[in-house]
Amino acid sequence: MSAALPHDPSQLLTDTVALARAAAVDEAALDVGSAAAGEAVGEHLESGPEGDCASTHFFAATHAGYRGWRWAVTLACAGAGEPVTVSEVVLLPGPDALVAPSWVPWQERVRPGDLGVGDLLPTTPNDHRLVPGYVESDDPAVEEVAAEVGLGRRRVLSHAGRLEAVQRWQEGRHGPSAAMAKAAPGPCGTCGFFLPLAGSLRGSFGVCGNAYSPADGSVVAVEFGCGAHSDVAAEPGSPVQVAALVYDDGVDLAADLEQIGS
Average pLDDT of the residues in 198-204: 87
Average pLDDT of the residues in 24-46: 89
Average pLDDT of the residues in 133-153: 60
If you ran DSSP here, which 8-state letter would residue 262 be given?
-
8 Å CB contact between 11 and 75: no
Average pLDDT of the residues in 146-162: 71
Percent of the chain with pLDDT over 90: 38
Helical ranges in the chain per DSSP H: 9-15, 17-32, 34-40, 106-109, 140-149, 159-171, 179-183, 253-261
Give 76's strand partners: 54, 85
Which of these ranges, 68-77, 158-167, 180-189, 236-245, has the smallest mean pLDDT? Answer: 236-245
Question: How far apart, in whole angstroms, are the C-alpha atoms of residue 201 and residue 138?
Answer: 12
8 Å CB contact between 32 and 14: no
Let me know the angle formed at the C-alpha of 42 by 41 and 43, rounded to the nearest 5 degrees.
135
Residue 34 has pLDDT above 60, yes or no: yes
Cα radius of gyration rounded to whole Å, the chain: 39
Structure-model confidence comparison of residues 68 and 78, the more confident one: 68
170 in helix, strand or coil?
helix
- Per residue in 228-248, pLDDT tens? 999 887 766 665 665 665 555
* Predicted local distance difference test score (pLDDT) of residue 179: 93
